[in-house]
Structure 1
Amino acid sequence: MVTLVVATTTDPASIGPAAALLAMPCWQPGPSFQGIRSFVNGEVRLLEHDNSIVKEDHLDKRWEEFTSEGVDEIIFLSKHKAVSNRPALTLHPIVLAYAVTLEATHHGPETNKPAMFVEIGSTEEYWGRKDAANVIALVDLTVFPSSIWLSLECNLALHLSVLVWEGLGLGGGTSVGNWSRKDGVWVGHLLSGYSLPMEDPTHSKVEINAQAIGGTWREAIKVSFEATKAAFPGGDILAHLDQKSFKSWQKNAITAYLGEQNIKIGKPADFC
């Protein structure tokens, strides 16, 4: 089983970390397929293409069909853009000059295996920085093999004791700040408020059955839960609701739906 690291030449915050990775020892040229170049290092496969990072769907399945190698997970190298314009490295706290944040789930490409984005933000000034690229390359080396694919050295402990899916309706945009500061807690999916569209009932103050609330919020919760369960088999998966992000009728509907799906709701002490 192998880990795919995917980079694109169209993004300086993607090809920079890829080049930093390839500058490290033991890389060898791998096979090319469908216009995609590959490099091999142990159980890691670095794929480099010239298209948008979010438009190359099902790279895991395509690689498996081409090479007969099974894929454990995929790491996408990409840029992060935010209105704050602050320098940021997502996922791994190393460089103090950068804020380290987690983002809510918000774009593709589609994959069949667990996947994550590791990004440099938040403006063109930082996307091409070699120091940031080197940090991302070092981070990538710490998340191999698959048993620690979401290893965050400080906030998310290397020793896995509890697996947590948190972040329903965190409000605002995709940046969700610092989450999961407790050792042994990992994050599966973070869903921001706009990812949980809910149709406002006529009488919002009345007790309402979850099935009476329209919108695709139920599907978003169910798919995210199932994906997290597949990524962390045997883990204790909890949901976290940001109380300030919901109106009472929204919170009641989500809580009722989580109960129907047998999804446990965690307390603040479970995460921080």
Structure 2
Amino acid sequence: MLPSHPVEGALAYARGQVRLWCRPGFHLDQDRLDERWSAATGEAVEDVLFLSKHAAASGRPCLTVHPIGVPHLHPDEAPPYGGRAGGAPPPSPRLARIWRALLRHANDVRIPEFEVSLEVTHHGPWQQAPAAFLEVGSTADTWGHSGAAEVWADVLLDVLNEELRGEVRQAAPPDVPVLVTLGGGHYAPRANHMASESRALLGHMLANHSLPFVRNDAGEVDGRWSQAVDAAIEASRAAHPQRSVVVSLDRKSFRGWERKALFDHLEARGIEVIDSAAHRALLEGA
């Protein structure tokens, strides 16, 4: 990559349609980086891939990728890790391709101690352009791992090959839907499996902790789960205009009344709920 003029005092590099912005410091609270880049350079931002460190209480070495947002928070809340409460930026349209490229390195000899995984949607910052975090985790002992850095570099060279040459990558067939997953744990086991399918497109993934259900004494279902679902669907659709959105549920992770509320809400919105077999059939028929 060739160096370009500094942006907000930070070094930037350019090659083809790709820009590398080497910003120092914490960035979960750095909202509107897409707009700030455009204001400084005059260039429109199509997608933002954050290369970052991942911290986890487990401490297990892991390379992860995930969308960003805190769609389950009340709009008046102050998000503890950045973002706009109640909102989620569009997920990177390259998210599933990044995951499949990373998955091909699951047994890479350069990272024998590392796992690879998707993570569900979480934390900031807020922006209008699509985004994803590509992370090395999960402690200071692994953040500087050279093999992990090399693997991420190879993944990016794979995924951004055409863009680095200044070319436009051919889009997936128009009948391929965008997958949104609901339920399960932080490391998105359902999405890990379903997005590994060739040609799959992946949107937001919401774990159970981002779907806060409440049921009152009268049996009425409340809570911000529907707010989170709607934000995830709309943001995923914004990342893939003109495509349909489908949802897959980790059914066992929900109580019966929660599942019913989800099915009723999605049916009212005209969103199809599918399992992995139906998803595979959609991809094969596209």
> TM over 0.5, yes or no?
yes
Q: Does 1:184 align with 2:199?
A: yes
Equivalent pair of 2:119/2:187 in contact (CA under 8 Å)? yes
CA distance in 2: counterparts of 1:117 and 1:45, whole angstroms: 16
* 2:243 alignment partner in structure 1: 235
Match of 2:50 in 1: 76
Cα offsets for 1:81-140 (capped at 9, x unmatched): 233332212231214122211100011111111100111122222210111101111111
**In the alignment, which residue of structure 1 is the partner of 2:84?**
none
Cross-structure match for 2:183: 169
After TM superposition, the structure 1 = structure 2 runs for residues 1-272 of structure 1, keeping only pairs within 5 Å, are 27-90=1-64, 91=99, 92-93=102-103, 94-96=105-107, 97=112, 98-144=114-160, 162-170=176-184, 172=185, 174-177=186-189, 178-180=192-194, 181-202=196-217, 204=219, 212-271=220-279
> Aligned AA for 1:126?
T
Corresponding pairs, count: 227
Q: Deviations along 1:3-51, whole A, 9 cap, x unmatched?
A: xxxxxxxxxxxxxxxxxxxxxxxx1122223233211111111111222
List structure 1 runs of 4+ shifted beyond 3 angstroms. 158-161
TM-score w.r.t. the length of structure 1 is 0.77
Secondary structure of 1:234's counterpart equals coil
State how far apart, in whole Å, the 2-side matches of 1:126 and 1:141 are: 22
Q: Deviations over 1:41-91 (max 9, x none)?
A: 111111112221212111111111221111110000112223333221223
CA contact (8 A) 1:72 1:146 kept: no
Give the superposition deviation at 1:271: 4.1
Supply the distance in 2 between the matched residues of 1:107 and 1:203 (Cα, whole angstroms).
34
Give a deviation string over 1:177-234, Cα, whole Å, max 9, x none: 3331332222111101111111123255xxxxxxx42211111111111111111122
The answer to whether the Cα contact below 8 Å between 1:102 and 1:179 also exists between their aligned partners in 2 is: no
Question: Which runs of 5 or more structure 2 residues have no equivalent in the other structure?
Answer: 65-98, 164-170, 281-286
- Segments of structure 1 that go 5 or more residues without pairing to the other structure are 1-26, 148-157, 205-211
Structure 1 residue 165: Cα displacement: 2.2
Structure of higher RCO (CA pairs closer than 8 Å, 6+ residues apart): 2
CA distance in 2, matches of 1:102, 1:271: 18
> How far is the alpha carbon of 1:145 from its aligned partner?
6.6
For 1:269, the aligned partner's letter is: A
User: Which whole-Å CA distance do the structure 1 matches of 2:16 and 2:43 have between them?
Assistant: 13
Percent identical among aligned pairs is 35
